[in-house]
Structure 1
C-alpha cells in the first residue's frame, strides 16, 4: 500500500528514447530531481501514441512530445497545459538503396510518419513548398521509433523523418539527409502536463522543483557538452558508442519557457485544414 501511495504521489512523465528528453534523462540519472526534493518517475515509451494513451488514462501527469500531437489531443477535447518548448528536431533521411537525392523524388515513394504529428506536419510543409501532390507520396504510419530504424536498416522504407540520435545512426550507415527542421522558423518540441498539476498545492511544489532541476540539467549539458554524457545517452536512447561519438556538437538546451504563440497557431491551423481534408475525403467515398 505504501508503494502504491508513493507512486500515486510521484510526478510521472512519459518520454521517448530521443535527445529532446535528455535534460530529463540527466536529471534522473544524476539525482537532480531527488536533490530538489521531488519524486519524478520517467515512464518510457517507443511511440507518441502510446504516450497519448498513458496521458489520457491518467498513468502519467506529463509528456515530452510535439505540438502537433498535443494540439490534436486538445482538438479532441483533452485539456492540457504547456510547460515548455524543447529543442526537438527532425531530419528527412532517405534510404541509400532508394537513390533519392532530391525531395522532389519522393513521389511514388514510401515515407514513414506518425499521423497527426510533427513528422506528418513537416512532410506536408516540404510537399507544399515544392508544389508536389500529397496523394503521390505514400505516407506509412510507423509509430514505434525503433521499428522505423529497423525498417531503414533492412531497406524496407524509402524515407523517414528521424530525430536524434536515430538521425546520426542513419548518417553513420551512409543514408542521405535531405532536410533539417532546424532550418525552419518553428519549434515543435513541447512538454505538457495535465492542468490538475497547476491546481493542486502539492503538485505546484513538485513543478517548482521540477523546473529548477530541469534548468540545472540544461546548463550542465550546455557547459560540458553531450559527449560528456555518452553513458546516459546510450542507456536511455539504446544507442551505441559510435553513434554517441558522432552526435552533432551544436545541440543546445534551453531553460523552461512556454512554446511560442506563433508556433501553436501555425500547428492548430494546419490540423484544422488536415482534419477537414480527411472529413471531405471520407464523405465522398
Structure 2
C-alpha cells in the first residue's frame, strides 16, 4: 500500500513538473508573440495632453484595428522621453512640438511632419505669488522644459514684458509633476498645456499668457523618415492618417466632454476639469505652417 502511494505521489509530482514547464514554455512563446506584434505595430509616443485626444479615442474605440492598422501608444509624462524613443528607433511616431522636433532633426533624427495639432499653452502664475502680469515675474521661478515650446514661450514672454530683474527658469519635464508643483505652491509660475491648464485655472491661478491669442501653433505629430521608407510602414501611416481625420471629425461633432472617460483614463483629469475644458477644435492632418516652422528654427 505504501509503495502504491509513493508511486502515485511521484506521478503527480512529475505531472505537475511537466505542467510548470509547459506553462513556462507557453509563457515564453506568448512573450515572443507579443514582441513580434509590437515590433510590427505602428508605435507612437504620446503625452497626457489634449492634443493627443484623437489617438486616445481611436485606440479606446478600436478604430485603428477596424481600419486594418495596429497602433501601440507609448504613454510618456515628459516630452523628453518621447524624444529618446523616436531618436533611438523604439517608436515610429511622436506627438510633440516643433521646437523639439526641429532640434531632433538638427541632432540627426530625420522626421516627417504628418499633422499640425491644436496644442496650446498658458503661462499660469501661482495664486499665492500675487503676480498679475509677466512684468511682475522678476526674481520669480517659471517651470518649463528645455528645448521645447515652453522654453521658447517663456523666453518670448519675458523678452516682451521686460521684468526689472531676473526670471529663473526651472526645468520640470513631467507635465503632471509641473501641475502638482503649482497646486502645492512650490512654483511661482509655469507653462501648461490642456487639460492641466484648466485644472490650474479651477484652482484660481492667474493666466498671464495664452498662445491662442498670439496665433502660435507649435503642436505637431512627426514620424521617423527612416521608418517610413518601409512599404508596410507607409501603408500603416496612410491608414493612421485616415483614422486620425475621422477621430478629429467625431470630436468636433460631439465635443471633447463626450469623451470624458477617455480623457480621465489617458490624462488623469478629474470630472471638474473635464467639465470646464474649453471648446476645442481638431484640424485634419496637414503640414505645419511655415511661420510656425520659422519660429521653431
Aligned residue among 55, 74, 83 for 1:24: 55
- Structural RMSD (CA): 1.2
In the aligned structure 1, how far is the partner of 2:93 from the partner of 2:59?
A: 15
The aligned counterpart of 1:37 is 68
Runs of 4+ in structure 1 displaced over 2 angstroms?
A: 130-133
1:235 aligned onto 2:273:
no
Gaps of 5+ in 1: 269-285
Aligned residue among 29, 38, 47 for 1:7: 38
In the aligned structure 1, how far is the partner of 2:114 from the partner of 2:139?
A: 40
The answer (yes or no) to whether the contact 2:93–2:224 under 8 Å persists in 1 is yes
The aligned counterpart of 2:118 is 87
In the aligned structure 1, how far is the partner of 2:243 from the partner of 2:38?
A: 20
Aligned residue among 60, 82, 90 for 2:91: 60
Does the residue aligned with 2:73 lie in a helix, a strand or coil? Answer: strand
CA displacement, residues 205-237 of structure 1 (integer Å, 9 cap, x when unaligned): 101110011000000000000111111100110
1:206 aligned onto 2:236:
yes
Q: Which structure's relative contact order is higher, taking Cα pairs within 8 Å and 6+ residues apart?
A: 1
The aligned counterpart of 1:146 is 176
1:184 aligned onto 2:238:
no
Cα deviation for residue 196 of structure 1 reads 2.5
Which segment drifts farther, 21-30 or 196-205?
196-205
Does the residue aligned with 2:55 lie in a helix, a strand or coil? Answer: helix
The aligned counterpart of 1:266 is 295
Cα deviation for residue 131 of structure 1 reads 3.4
Cα deviation for residue 123 of structure 1 reads 1.1
1:195 aligned onto 2:225:
yes
In the aligned structure 2, how far is the partner of 1:196 from the partner of 1:256?
A: 20
In the aligned structure 2, how far is the partner of 1:265 from the partner of 1:166?
A: 27
In the aligned structure 2, how far is the partner of 1:232 from the partner of 1:73?
A: 30
Matches of residues 79-158 of structure 1 in structure 2 within 5 Å? 79-132=110-163, 136-158=166-188
Considering only CA atoms, is the larger Rg found in Structure 1 or Structure 2?
2
Gaps of 5+ in 2: 1-31
The answer (yes or no) to whether the contact 2:87–2:104 under 8 Å persists in 1 is no
The aligned counterpart of 1:253 is 282
Cα deviation for residue 55 of structure 1 reads 1.1
Q: How many residues align?
A: 266
The answer (yes or no) to whether the contact 2:136–2:163 under 8 Å persists in 1 is no
In the aligned structure 2, how far is the partner of 1:230 from the partner of 1:163?
A: 17
In the aligned structure 2, how far is the partner of 1:76 from the partner of 1:255?
A: 29
In the aligned structure 1, how far is the partner of 2:34 from the partner of 2:123?
A: 44
Cα deviation for residue 266 of structure 1 reads 2.0
